[in-house]
Amino acid sequence: LQDRRFPSSSSSAYRSRHQTHNMKSIGIFPGSGALGGSTYDYLLKLLPADHIILINRHPEKVPQEHIKNGVRARKASYESSPSDLEAVFSGIEVLFLISYPSHVHDYRKKVQLPAIDAARRAGVKHIFYSSLAFAGDLQDSSLAEVMQAHLDSERYLAEAAASDSSFTYTAVREGLYSESYPIYTAFFDVNAPTDEILIPHDGSGPGVAWVKRAELGEATAKLIAQYSWDPDHFPHVNKKVLLTGPRVWSLEDTVKVLSRAAGKRVRIRKVGVDEYVKLPQVLSRFGSQDKARTWATAWEAISAGETAVVTDTLKEIIGREPEEFDVTIKRLKQA
C-alpha cells in the first residue's frame, strides 16, 4: 500500500475514480478527540467531504471549514439511547467506531456492545473498530485491564460477522501512542520533571513499540479509504490489523529519552502497586485507588511482552518509515 494507492483529492486519478465508483458513506463515532480528529483530517484528503459524517457530543465544534466542504455532523455519544444511536447511524455504510475513553472494563463493555448493535440495526455494513496493541501478536488474551473491553468488542464483532454474511468488520489494534507516555510513567511531565518515576516496573525489557498518534490516524484513514474504494479486494475483512512503531523501547530507554528532552537526569524507581496507587498525581488523574490499581495491570502486560511486537503494516500503509519515539518526543518538547 504505497502512497500512489491513495491519490490526493486534487488529482485527476482521484476525480475519475470517484466519477465511476459508488462511494460509500462513512461515519466516525465519536468524531472528536485525538485519534478521531487525526483520522478524519486525513480522510478528508482522500475522500469527498460529502461522504463523511462526524458523530459526537458537540457537533457545533466541528470546524466550519469541514461543514462548508460538505461534511455532515450529527449529535450523539456513547451515553445516548440505543434508539438515538440507531438514528444517527442511519444511512452510514462504513463506521469507524472509536473505543470509549476509559480503561474500566465493565463500563466500557456496557456502552460499546450496544453501539455495535445499534450500528447493525441501522444498516451499517462494515465497522472499523479502534482496538489497542496489547495482547501481543494479535492474540486473544491480555493481562491488562485496559485491553479487556477491546477483546470483548473484537469477539462480538467476529460473532456478528459469523452469523450475518452481510456484515463485516476490521479491528485495528492501534499501537501505544508515543504521546501517551505520561500514563505509563506515573504522569511524568518533561516540562516539570521530577528526579524519579515511581511505577510498579523496573524499566527492563521487554518494552513498548511506541508509535506517533498522527501516523495511526493517517494509516486508519487510508484503510477506511481503501475499503471504501474497493471493498471486494480489501485484504483485512473480518480480520485484526496490528499497527506499531518501528522498534521496541524498554521503559528504561523510554525514560532516557524523556530525561534528554527534560534536560534533567531521571530514573525509574520500582515501587509496589500499593505505593503507586497512592501517589498524588496518580490519584488526581484516576480519581480513586481502585481505578489506579486496575490501570497498574498494564505494567504486568508490558512485562509479559504484550506491547513488544513490531509489524511492518504501518510502514506499508503510510508508505514511509514511521517516526521514532525519540523524534516525536523532541518535537513535543519543542512545541
DSSP reduced 3-state for 209: coil
Q: Which CATH number fits domain 3-178+210-246+308-323: 3.40.50.280, 3.90.1170.50, 3.40.50.720, 3.20.20.70?
A: 3.40.50.720
User: What pLDDT, on a 0 to 100 scale, did the predictor assign at position 333?
Assistant: 83
Selection from 148, 161, 61, 174 nearest residue 119 by Cα: 161
CB distance 126 to 227 below 8 Å: yes
- Residue 156 grid coordinates: 462480538
Residue 7 DSSP symbol: -
According to the model, what pLDDT value does residue 5 have? Answer: 38
Q: Domain locations in the chain?
A: 3-178+210-246+308-323
Is 0.85 topped by the overall pTM?
A: yes
Candidates 182, 200, 176; CA nearest to 296 is 200
% of the chain residues with pLDDT over 90: 87
Encode pLDDT of 92-115 as tens digits.
999 999 999 998 899 999 999 999
Largest CA distance in the chain: 62
CA angle 60, 62, 63 (to 5 degrees): 115
pLDDT tens digits, the chain, 335 residues: what are they? 333 334 343 333 443 444 335 678 999 999 888 898 999 999 999 999 999 999 999 999 899 999 999 999 999 999 999 999 999 999 999 999 999 999 889 999 999 999 999 999 999 999 999 999 999 999 999 999 999 999 999 999 999 999 999 999 999 999 999 999 999 999 999 999 999 999 999 999 999 999 999 999 999 999 999 999 999 999 999 999 999 999 999 999 999 999 999 999 999 999 999 999 999 999 999 999 999 999 999 999 999 999 999 999 999 999 999 999 999 999 988 77
Query: What is the Cα–Cα distance from 192 to 200, expressed in whole angstroms?
Result: 22
Sign of CA dihedral 27, 227, 3, 248: positive
Q: What is the pLDDT of residue 29?
A: 96
For residue 37, give the nearest of 52, 21, 22 by alpha carbon. 52
Interatomic CA distance for residues 77 and 303, integer angstroms:
35
Question: What gap in Å lies between CA 213 and CA 219, rounded to an integer?
Answer: 10
